[in-house]
Amino acid sequence: MALNKYKLEDYRNALVARQGLAAAAAIASEAAVSYPLDTVKALVQVSANAGKNGVANGGKVWEMAVLVMRVGVPGAYGGAGWQLLGRLPVLGARFGVYQLSSAFVTDGRGSNDMTVSEASLAGLFTGCVESLVATPFDFLKTRRQLTAVTYSLDPLYTPKANWAQVMESLAGLPATHPNMISSLQKYPWLANGTGHPPIVRDMVGIRQIIDVEGWKVLWRGFRPGLFRDATYAGFFFGSWEFLCEFLLEHKAYYMDEPPSSLEDIDPLTPWQLSVTAGLAASVAAVASHPMDTAKTRSQATVLPKHVAMERKLLKWVTRPGNFLQRTLGIIPFDQPLLLKGLGIRTAQHGLAMAALVGTYHTVLQYLLH
C-alpha cells in the first residue's frame, strides 16, 4: 500500500511538471507570435488623435507596422517581460475560475456538458476575476511598450527643460541651499523642468512611475478593463463551447452507435482545439475592443499624484460624460476613437489563442506518450 501511495505521488508530481512545462511553452509561443501585433495595436490606439506630424501620424496601421519594424526587437517586444510574468497568473485565473464555475453549473448532472449560454455566463464571471489580476501587468506592459518604441526611435532624447526660467522664478527665495536646481531635479514630478505634466517617455522604471503617480496607478483603467475582460471571457468561452460542440456532433454523426453524451465521443485533436480557440478569441476581441481602447488610452496618460490631489481638494470630482460613459470608464473625448486598431487586435488575439492552445495540447500530448 505504501509503495502504491509513493508511486501515485510520483505520478502526480510528474503530471504537474509536464503541465507546467506545456504551459510555459504555450505562453512563450503566444508571445513570440502575437506580441508585435499587440505593440502596433497599442500605438494605433494611443496615437489615434495625433497630428499629421506626430511620430505615429494619424494612427494609420501601415505606418505603425513600419514603425515597429524600424525599432527592431527591443521596440517590438518592449514590455514582453511584464506580459510573460503576468500571463501565468492571468491564464490561471481565467481557466481556473472557469473550471470552478463549470463544476458549479454541472453539479448533480449525469455529464459535464454545458450549454452555450451557461458557458457565456461562466465566462462573464471569470472575466471579472481575471481583470483584478491582469490590470497591474497590463498597465506596466503598456507603459513599457510606448517607452521602448520612443527610446528605439530617439535614444538621445532629453526633456526640453528650461531650468533658467525655473531659477529666475525662485530668485525671490532666501538662498538657503547651495545647489537648489540639483535638489529639485531629484523630485520625479520636476524631472522635465517644463512645468507641464511628464509624458510616458519621462517615466523610466516602476519606481519612478509610483513616485510620480502613486500606488493606485497600477490599477488605472480597471473600470473599462473590468467590462473588457468580462465581455471577452463571456464571448470567448461561449463561442468556443459552440464550436467544440459543433465538431463533436460532426464526429458523432459518423459513429456506428450514437453516443449518450458528448463525453462518449473521441476528444478533439490539438489542431482542432487550436483553430476553434483562435476563432472564438477573434470573436471575443471584436466584442470587447472598445473597452480595450478606453483602457489603453487611460493607462497611457500620466497623471501626477499632486495634480490628482489638487483636483480632489478642489472638488473636481464630477466625471465627464453621460451615465453610460461614466459607468464604463470612457472619456467622452475618446468616444470616436474606440474602434481604432480593431482589425489588429482581432488578428492578434486569434493568433495568440491559437498558438497558446495548440502549443499547450501538443506539448502535453507529446509528454504524456
pLDDT (tens digit per residue) in 194-233: 556 677 877 778 888 888 888 989 999 999 999 999 999 9
Residue type, 217: V
Smallest CA-to-CA distance from 131 within 77, 103, 80, 94 is with: 94
Question: What is the structure's pLDDT at 58?
Answer: 41
Give helix then strand counts, H and E, for the chain. Answer: 12, 0
Query: String of b and e for 317-345 (b: at least 16 CB within 10 Å)?
Result: eeeebeeebeebbbbeebeebbebbbebb
CATH number of 9-159+198-368: 1.50.40.10
Q: Residue 57 has what pLDDT?
A: 40
pLDDT at 65: 74
Query: Taking each helix axis from N to C terminus, what angle separates 80-106 and 116-153, rounded to the nearest 10 degrees?
Result: 180
pTM of the model: 0.84
Q: How far apart are CA 35 and CA 130, in angstroms?
A: 20
| The predicted structure's pLDDT at residue 208 | 82
Distance (Å, rounded) from C-alpha 222 to C-alpha 134?
Answer: 9
Contact predicate 47/112, CB 8 Å = no
Q: What is the pLDDT of residue 52?
A: 45
Residue whose cell numbers read 463571456: 234
Of the candidates 57, 233, 221, 20, the one whose C-alpha atom is nearest the C-alpha of residue 136 is 221
pLDDT at 103: 87
pLDDT per 10-residue tile (average), the chain, 369 residues:
52 73 91 92 82 45 71 83 91 91 82 86 94 94 88 63 64 66 64 62 81 88 95 96 90 77 80 95 96 94 80 68 86 89 94 95 84
Cα-only R_g, the chain: 25
